[in-house]
Structure 1
Amino acid sequence: MEPAIKILIYIHAFFGGIGLITGIGSVAVKKGSNLHKRMGKLFSIGMLTSSIISLIICWIPNHQNIFLFLIGLFTIYLVVSGNRALTFKHKLKADLTDKVISGIMLLFSVIMILLGIYCQLNNITNGILFIFFGGFGFYMSYKDFIFFKNLLETNKSWLSKHIGKMVGALIASITAYIVAGLGIGSVIAWITPSILGTFYIIYWNRKTEPKTKSRAINQI
């Protein structure tokens, strides 16, 4: 059994590595270029495959880890939701799939927060991580529903949503490399990439907002 698990872990790491490399590459190249799109597809494939395998590993005896399981779900949400954000460039209404994806993430975010509170109250390690990532997930999925509700007014922000979700998935990949690859498992190692990535997302949101506004003005 253990050799089979090791193979799964190697496959998980391989696709995670693909996600990490192509994710960094897609950030580095010109946004919207063919190279960016190709790297983005490879990034999505790598991250989804790696995350799905991690969900399996986290339930295998002697490898159970509810926190990594929930982080895997969070990563899948970010990649899927980030790709679906591109569809709002042309559509004016969120469909059932969009709502289900965000709804599931909202539910699991609440579970993460509650688990974090329980861990903190009972002096169980990593409670703060549950709260931190659960809070992030709750905020992002809640914002999804606000976006869906006011779609006619907010659909021009599809690009910022795409960037935010995909960069979030890249942050997850970098965090996994630091924690699992380099063996640095401190709270700082878990949280720092998210904090730095948030500044990067804010930068791109501000960079894309003026273009969105100017286009809206030109259409009036």
Structure 2
Amino acid sequence: METLFTVLLILHITAGTISLISGPVSMANRKGGKQHRFTGKVFFYAMMLVSVTAVSMAVLPNHHSSFLLIIGIFSAYLVSSGYRVLYLKDLTKGQKPQQLDWLISLTMAAFAAYFVYSGLTGSTSSSFGNSNVISVVFGSIALLLVAKDIRKYTQAPADMNFWLYDHIARMVAGNIAAFTAFLVVNNAVLPPVVAWLGPTVIGSAVISFFITKYKLKARKSTNTEELVTPI
């Protein structure tokens, strides 16, 4: 069992390192370009391996960790839903989500409810700070994101660029998860709550910046088209 844990840990650290590098590089690359797509896929697969190994280690006997379970499940949901939305661009035109999309969202909903319940009842265990507060916070964020998923699956989004904004938000959030895990594990200075939630605060500002940028760009493009369209 210890050998299995060691192998999983090595894979986890390796994949985590790759994701910490490829994530920011992908964000810096021109959106939609060849390099962005390549580094984005590297980040996606690295994060999925991070998640799988995290969850696997979290459920091993004598190694149970609510920290790994929360980060593992939440990270897998963020990057998988952020990747899948690229194939759901036509929801505005009546496209229906596939069973895989529902499975991703509903699985996250179940775990998110568990995280919130565990945090509120004080049953979350971790050596990394106030895990009950963290469990409630991340579980609540996940429930809000799942609610957004269900809304766009059942009601056609009004904005044709919804998929771009969702993709940006979920993938940057995946980066947040990677940096949160790195900071929490290696933190020796910051208060635990700051280490846990600091990347979320900073990352949320990054998400807001990029989404606002592309919304303004889309609005400018629309206005330009209106000006040149014959009456």
Q: Same fold (TM over 0.5)?
A: yes
User: What amino acid is the match of 1:103?
Assistant: L
CA–CA separation in structure 1 for the residues paired with 2:44 and 2:56: 19
1:1-220 paired onto structure 2 within 5 Å: 1-90=1-90, 92-119=95-122, 125-182=130-187, 186-214=192-220, 218=225
From the CA coordinates, give the structure whose radius of gyration is larger: 2
Q: Is the 8 A contact 2:130 2:192 kept in 1?
A: no
Q: How many residues align?
A: 217
State the alpha-carbon separation in 2 of the partners of residues 114 and 15 from structure 1.
30
- Flag the 1:167–1:99 CA change in 2: closer, same or farther, 3 A: same
Distance in 1, matches of 2:122 and 2:82, equals 31
Shift of residue 214 of structure 1? 5.0
* Deviation string, structure 1 residues 58-80 (Cα, Å, up to 9, x no partner): 11122101342132111101111
* Greater displacement, 1-10 / 104-113: 1-10
| Distance (whole Å) between structure 2 residues aligned to residue 14 and residue 207 of structure 1 | 33
1:152/1:4 CA distance change after superposition, 3 Å: closer
Structure having the larger proportion of residues in helix: 1
- 1:83-108 superposed Cα distances (whole Å, 9 cap, x missing partner): 01111224532222212211111221
User: 1:119–1:125: 8 Å Cα contact kept in structure 2?
Assistant: no
- Residue aligned with 1:151, SS: coil
CA distance in 1, matches of 2:61, 2:222: 55
Structure 1 counterpart of 2:146, one-letter code: S
TM-score, with length taken from structure 2:
0.85
State the shift of 1:183 in Å.
5.5
* Structure 1 counterpart of 2:126: none
Q: Which letter maps to 1:79? A: V
Where 1:128 maps in the other structure, the secondary structure is helix
Q: Supply the distance in 2 between the matched residues of 1:83 and 1:24 (Cα, whole angstroms).
A: 16
Distance 2:71 2:110 in 1: 13
Alignment RMSD (CA, Å): 2.2
- Alpha-carbon distance between aligned partners in 2 of 1:108 and 1:88, rounded to the nearest angstrom: 24
C-alpha distance in structure 2 between counterparts of 1:208 and 1:71, whole Å: 29
TM (normalized to structure 1)?
Answer: 0.89
Q: Distance in 2 between matches of 1:31 and 1:156?
A: 14
Structure 2: stretches of 5+ with no match in the other structure: 124-128
